[in-house]
């Protein structure tokens, strides 16, 4: 697996320099490759591009040089773009100057609009003359807000109502941060060069990027690897290779015996959804251990699963008396999933801690299984077994809070999702799946992965229970904890995206995610075969 790295502008500059100095790929060559890749991407994204009267707005830096080079390569595709440079043509330097000269030799007209008056004349005609603007004004190296003529151009372009594609980054954003420092282009699509950058992935800047397309520009993979970047993007092209493949002579025992400890009186649905999702993710056998009063209700939810009714508290959740029964069930299990619907009752929490302290089974811990360790995270380690935690920000905050100290808040977790997940995974030798928009997966090594699938419709009760089942089902089929975590969060989000495409985000419920898991896995299989 060769992960897609998420870079800062500074890291990208060093990689560019390494490509030239260590691998002999000249900057002018990279710019040529960038122009060709962007031209090809535009042609794919806009099949009617030749009729759209494309306007390319260029600045005097390398981003503008990429835009001019794109115009050259578009011409070879039969697309004649109008190029406007917000500077005198003799202001271009380095690779941009080289490709300016090449464009002029090829007969491409570069209009100069170096003043507000000249630009105003161009801007006034955009709505009636053009249906698409390629933003090649400012690149990833911007420090602070856009000012002067570039700021005016950004505001004017946004005000035209014409669709905008951004070259590498929407002008006005910084390649080093997720914030929006000032006026910035609102793009329908962003064509990122070589690798995604911080603002492509993280909000609020990501909302201005529209649909993200990452294109190769000829940078050697070794030049990227040498940067030792620890932030990665989970994308379909990599996940398709992880989907389990079944042998012709296999049987149900080959695909994992999953034991889910979940459910309680009035909360049987959470365990049922986890079980159904595990089965839909390929698990061979699924058993749910639940409180005795919840068992009859739970058994009617998913007919393919097995259930075990165990001793319960007066309130209908699992009691500590269930411990011997659970240990017996665990002897014939391959994976343990704990938490969906078990309640936060202290007796049940004590049962969770007792059971997990005495097992070497791989564990997926969710919901009140995580809350059982609130203020006691030091008791949780993954050194001797696989441990995957799937908290939402509130559960993560409770896990980090310590008795006698000011409680950690969900807002504090949200303010540094990557840092929080990385630190916890390292300290506790576990795989931390921090749920939410752009779910974060952190592994004990310190590598962090950001999920690219999913949508706001998945912010609904039970969605996390479905993820627990998916992760347990994939672990049971022999995937490594990292592979199960990455594929699990991606296919969970993809199923949500497919459901949203049919039902919309408002009406989406957790069962829809389960129902679309087969389509999600099938899409990955077809992507792998393509």
Mind spelling out the 3-state secondary structure of 430-492?
CEEEECCCCCEEECCCCCEEEECCCCHHHCCCCHHHHHHHHHHHHHHCCCCHHHHHHHHHHHH
Contact 406, 502 (CB under 8 A): no
Burial of 509 (0-12, 13-18, 19+ CB in 10 A): middle
Strands (E) located in 108-236 = 110-112, 132-136, 163-167, 189-193, 211-215, 231-234
As given in the structure block, the two tokens for residue 299 are 């058994």
Contact 217, 195 (CB under 8 A): no
**CA quadruple 75, 78, 80, 81: dihedral sign:** negative
Contact 287, 259 (CB under 8 A): yes
Does the model's pTM come out above 0.85?
yes
Q: Enumerate residues 6+ apart whose C-beta is below 8 A from 46.
A: 52, 132
DSSP per-residue string spanning 259-323: EEE---TT-HHHHHHHHHHHHHTT-SEEEEEEETTTHHHHHTT-TTSEEEEE-B-TTSSB-GGGH
| CA–CA gap between residue 505 and residue 513 (Å, rounded) | 12
According to the model, what pLDDT value does residue 530 have?
62
The H-assigned helical ranges of 55-165 are 62-76, 94-105, 116-129, 148-160
* Alpha-carbon dihedral angle through residues 28, 33, 34, 35, given to the nearest 10 degrees: 90
> Cα 3 to chain center, whole Å?
12
Contact 389, 433 (CB under 8 A): yes
According to the model, what pLDDT value does residue 60 have?
96
Would you write out the chain's pLDDT as a tens digit for each of its 530 residues? 688 999 999 999 999 999 999 999 999 999 999 999 999 999 999 999 999 999 999 999 999 999 999 999 999 999 999 999 999 999 999 999 999 999 999 999 999 999 999 999 999 999 999 999 999 999 999 999 999 999 999 999 999 999 999 999 999 999 999 999 999 999 999 999 999 999 999 999 999 999 999 999 999 999 999 999 999 999 998 899 998 888 899 999 999 999 999 999 999 999 999 999 999 999 999 999 999 999 999 988 889 999 999 999 999 999 999 999 999 999 999 999 999 999 999 999 999 999 999 999 999 999 999 999 999 999 988 988 999 999 999 999 999 999 888 999 999 999 999 999 999 999 999 999 999 999 999 999 999 999 999 999 999 999 999 999 999 999 999 999 999 999 999 999 999 999 999 999 999 999 999 999 999 999 999 887 66
According to the model, what pLDDT value does residue 2 have?
81
Contact 1, 238 (CB under 8 A): yes
Q: Around 191, how many Cα atoms within 13 Å sit in the side-chain half-sphere?
A: 28
The structure tokens 């949200």 sit at: 414
| CA–CA gap between residue 327 and residue 349 (Å, rounded) | 16
Strands (E) located in 330-456 = 335-338, 363-365, 387-389, 431-434, 440-442, 448-451
Q: Which of 294, 296, 298, 307 is nearest to 273 (CA)?
A: 298
Phi, psi torsion values for 317, nearest 5 degrees = -110, 165
As given in the structure block, the two tokens for residue 475 are 């672990």
Contact 265, 239 (CB under 8 A): no
As given in the structure block, the two tokens for residue 250 are 């296999």
As given in the structure block, the two tokens for residue 61 are 């830096």
As given in the structure block, the two tokens for residue 308 are 């075990």
As given in the structure block, the two tokens for residue 386 are 């696989």
According to the model, what pLDDT value does residue 294 have?
95
CA dist list (Å): 474 to 28, 287, 303, 334:
46, 15, 20, 11
According to the model, what pLDDT value does residue 184 have?
98
Phi, psi torsion values for 234, nearest 5 degrees = -85, 115
As given in the structure block, the two tokens for residue 74 are 């578009």
């Amino acid at each position: 697996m060769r992960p897609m790295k998420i870079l800062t502008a500074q890291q990208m500059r060093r990689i560019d320099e390494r490509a030239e100095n260590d691998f002999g790929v000249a900057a002018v060559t990279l710019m040529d490759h960038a122009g060709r890749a962007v031209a090809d991407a535009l042609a794919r994204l806009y099949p009617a591009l030749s009729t759209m009267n494309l306007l390319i707005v260029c600045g005097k830096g390398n981003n503008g040089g990429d835009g001019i080079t794109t115009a050259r390569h578009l011409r070879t595709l039969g697309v004649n773009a109008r190029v406007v440079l917000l500077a005198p043509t003799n202001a271009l330097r380095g690779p941009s100057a080289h490709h300016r000269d090449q464009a002029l030799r090829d007969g491409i007209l570069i209009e100069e609009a170096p003043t507000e008056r000249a630009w105003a004349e161009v801007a006034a005609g955009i709505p009636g003359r053009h249906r698409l603007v390629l933003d090649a004004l400012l690149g990833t190296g911007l420090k602070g807000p856009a000012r002067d003529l570039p700021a005016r151009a950004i505001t004017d372009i946004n005000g035209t109502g014409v669709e905008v594609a951004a070259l590498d980054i929407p002008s006005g954003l910084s390649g080093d941060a997720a914030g929006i420092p000032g006026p910035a282009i609102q793009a329908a699509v962003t064509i990122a060069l070589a690798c995604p950058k911080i603002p492509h992935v993280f909000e609020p800047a990501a909302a201005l990027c529209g649909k993200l397309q990452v294109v190769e520009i000829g940078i050697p993979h070794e030049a990227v690897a040498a940067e030792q970047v620890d932030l990665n993007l989970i994308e379909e092209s990599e996940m398709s290779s992880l989907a389990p493949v079944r042998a012709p002579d296999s049987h149900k025992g080959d695909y994992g015996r999953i034991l889910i400890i979940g459910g309680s009186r009035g909360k049987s649905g959470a365990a049922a959804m986890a079980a159904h999702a595990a089965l839909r993710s390929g698990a061979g056998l699924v058993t749910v251990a639940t409180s005795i009063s919840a068992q009859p209700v739970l058994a009617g939810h998913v007919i393919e699963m097995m259930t075990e009714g165990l001793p319960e508290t007066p309130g209908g959740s699992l009691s500590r008396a269930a411990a011997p029964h659970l240990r017996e069930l665990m002897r014939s299990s391959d994976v343990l999933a704990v938490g969906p619907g078990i309640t936060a009752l202290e007796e049940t929490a004590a049962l969770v801690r007792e059971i997990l302290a005495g097992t070497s089974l791989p564990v997926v811990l969710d919901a009140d299984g995580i809350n059982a360790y609130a203020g006691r995270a030091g008791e949780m380690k993954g050194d001797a077994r696989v441990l995957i935690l799937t908290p939402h920000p509130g559960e993560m905050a409770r896990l980090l809070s310590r008795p006698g100290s000011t409680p950690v808040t969900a807002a504090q977790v949200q303010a540094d999702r990557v840092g929080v997940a990385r630190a916890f995974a390292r300290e506790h030798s576990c795989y931390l799946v921090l749920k939410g928009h752009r779910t974060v997966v952190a592994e004990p090594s310190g590598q962090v992965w950001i999920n690219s699938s999913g949508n706001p419709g998945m912010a609904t009760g039970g969605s996390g229970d479905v993820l627990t089942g998916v992760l347990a089902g994939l672990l049971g089929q022999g995937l490594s904890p990292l592979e199960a975590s990455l594929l699990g969060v991606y296919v969970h989000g993809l199923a949500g995206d497919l459901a949203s495409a049919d039902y919309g985000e408002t009406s989406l419920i957790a069962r829809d995610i389960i129902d679309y898991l087969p389509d999600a896995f099938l899409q990955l299989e077809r992507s792998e075969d393509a």
